[in-house]
Amino acid sequence: MVSKRGWTTKVFYMTAHSFALVNIKPLLPGHILVSPRRIIPRLSDLTHTEVTDLFLTVQRVGRMIERVYGASSLNIAIQDGPAAGQSVPHLHTHLIPRHHADLDERGGSDAIYGMLEGEEGDVGKHHWERLNRRPKFPTVDDKARQPRSDAEMTAEAHQLAKEMDSVPT
């Protein structure tokens, strides 16, 4: 689904050079992505202005995500290049709200890194395929985490957009 602005309705915040969107398959509740508007594969491809905007957006959205999801911490991750686990040629930053002992049943806090590197963390690929309406990478059946519906993601994006209004710049 595309908004009147021409962007997907999953986008809840946009700046001159970056945007934040909800995840089709979040690793933990509140896991979102922040990406530059210009489609580039690597962090080193960004201009100084785009880098500044991207990280200020990560900081601002991160404050809101922690508050809304009652988190005490965040994982902020970029898989910068194929050898680092990046599966979509559009740079994106993962923001994952964290709570004390939230992954103890999976081996502890550091389990998030294995989740990001595996198929279950390949959320950027799922967004890319849905936005482009054709798979560009092989799909893997991940029955443990089913993709959310467009309606679920749009509702979350609307809620988070309202929350962004109360975050200081």
92 is catalytic: yes
Q: HSE on the CB side for 142, CA within 13 Å? A: 20
CA distances from 97 to 50, 63, 65, 94 (A): 24, 10, 7, 10
Catalytic residue among 17, 92, 94, 126: 92
* CB-based contacts of 42, cutoff 8 Å, min separation 6: 80, 81, 91
**3-state DSSP call for residue 108?**
coil
Among 154, 130, 128, smallest CA distance to 3 is for 154
Q: For tokens 């991940």, name the residue.
A: 142
Can you say whether the dihedral through the CA atoms of 79, 81, 84, 86 is positive or negative? positive
Catalytic residues: 92
